[in-house]
Amino acid sequence: MGVLDTLRERGFVSQCSDEAGLAKLLDGERTSFYIGFDPTGDSLHVGHLQQLMAMAHLQRAGHRPIALVGGGTARIGDPSGKSEMRKILPVETIAANAEAFRRQMARFLDFSEGNALLLDNAEWLAPLNYIEFLRDIGRHFSVNRMLTFEAYKMRLETGLSFIEFNYQLLQSYDYLVLYRRHGCRLQMGGDDQWGNIVAGMDLIRRVDGGEAFALTSPLVTRSDGKKMGKTETGALFLDPRQTSPYDFHQYWVNVPDDDVEQFLLRFTFLPAADIKARCAHRDQRINEAKRLLARELTTIVHGAEEARRAEEAARAAFGGGADLANLPTLEVAASELAGSLTVIDAIVRSGLCATKSEARRLIEQGGATLNGKKVTAIDATLQRDDFSSGTAVLQAGKKKHRRIVLT
């Protein structure tokens, strides 16, 4: 099976500029390819997983990934898939976010000895001379064609700034620079990036007469209609300080049965044939496949030890008799128990709910328990008697637990 066939089998292929040409390239020579990452947040999230795994699979097939941090383009904002203009961040914030990305990407990619590159497009975009850029690059772009792409048509309805209108030129220039400096022949991204990627491919052909390729992946969706990677408390981040390894693990344990196969194919390195065999049944074996998905993906993102601790915590929370110490923990000072720390406060501080209003609804609907007993009073407070051996367990619904430790 060829490299492109493998990507397709695992669900990474949606649109391709030239399938026969790209297949020949990937099977015939070591190829540099790139994906851009927008550093407007301080952590990668589940929405980035598909691209990270696609890069990892290609690297394992012998190719060289280039992770391009958009330190330059982040100062402008990409209209693709957005309904409004994004906030422009300070340079210092962008640099800090890029460094956080580097640490997280190292879980997926081998950056040693030039096997992968992490670059920032501010290196070549920041010094650009605007007049020269318009003369040499801008003349190759058609406004009429740009407006045929869905991303731009959608934004025209709500207002597209001139700054954002330049984004396609800058992303295309990125591809040209990487082609010239690093021999990059392939740009990948999500389907929402198709117009920008094709524009860069065309720019390479027009300016340098070179052959380059475009490949996009489909949007990852859940069969139950819920947004991928979203929880009651917000996005599912790869940074353990923002989403604990336990919560990350439990998200995958609880995905719908119909999604297990596609997630195992996309988000693990297990053989495709084994995955399909495991997911062919809708009995207890599908639950085993879910646990496998959670274990494999938590190991990739957080390491084997954190995956083991998350599994131990899950067994403890659901009656397996393991040690509760591995549950996500909220530390509470003894001085807070003088009638002032409410259960609602504890629910929010522990991350079981994002806001006090959500925590209030949880109690009103009978979904909150403390040490196995349902919390019924909205103004209930934590008392010293709630802490057996200095520990209490707070639960939201059937599947979310927090350990509260008295300090």
CA distance 305 to 287: 22
Q: Tell me, yes or no, if 276 is annotated catalytic.
A: no
CA distance 301 to 280: 27
Q: Tell me, yes or no, if 249 is annotated catalytic.
A: no
Q: Tell me, yes or no, if 323 is annotated catalytic.
A: no
SS3 letters across 2-48: CHHHHHHHCCCCCEECCHHHHHHHHHHCCCEEEEEECCCCCCCEHHH
Q: Tell me, yes or no, if 82 is annotated catalytic.
A: yes
Digit-coded pLDDT (tens) for 359-374: 888 888 888 888 777 8
- Parallel/antiparallel/unpaired status of strands 234-235 and 391-396: unpaired
- Parallel/antiparallel/unpaired status of strands 117-120 and 64-69: parallel
Q: Which of 10, 48, 400, 402 is catalytic?
A: 48
Using alpha carbons, select from 144, 148, 128 the residue that is nearest to residue 136.
128
Name the DSSP letter for residue 352.
Answer: S
Q: Tell me, yes or no, if 45 is annotated catalytic.
A: yes
- Helix, strand, coil abundance in the chain, percent, nearest 5: 50, 15, 35
Q: Tell me, yes or no, if 356 is annotated catalytic.
A: no
Q: What residues of the chain score a pLDDT lower than 70?
A: 76-88, 150-157, 159-160, 164, 230-233, 319-326, 338-339, 388-389, 406
Q: Which of 5, 8, 27, 40 is catalytic?
A: 40
Q: Tell me, yes or no, if 48 is annotated catalytic.
A: yes
Q: Which of 38, 120, 174, 192 is catalytic?
A: 192
pLDDT of residue 327: 76
Name the DSSP letter for residue 243.
Answer: S
pLDDT of residue 83: 45
pLDDT of residue 141: 85
Q: Which of 5, 6, 18, 86 is catalytic?
A: 86
Q: Which of 227, 361, 373, 384 is catalytic?
A: 227
Q: Which of 171, 268, 342, 369 is catalytic?
A: 171
Which domains are present in the chain?
Answer: 3-217 (3.40.50.620), 230-326 (1.10.240.10), 329-406 (3.10.290.10)
Q: Which of 10, 38, 45, 295 is catalytic?
A: 45
pLDDT of residue 265: 97
Q: Tell me, yes or no, if 231 is annotated catalytic.
A: yes
CA distance 356 to 339: 18
Ramachandran class of 303: left when φ > 0, alpha when ψ lies in -120 to 50, beta otherwise? left
Q: Tell me, yes or no, if 86 is annotated catalytic.
A: yes
Q: Which of 75, 145, 230, 308 is catalytic?
A: 230
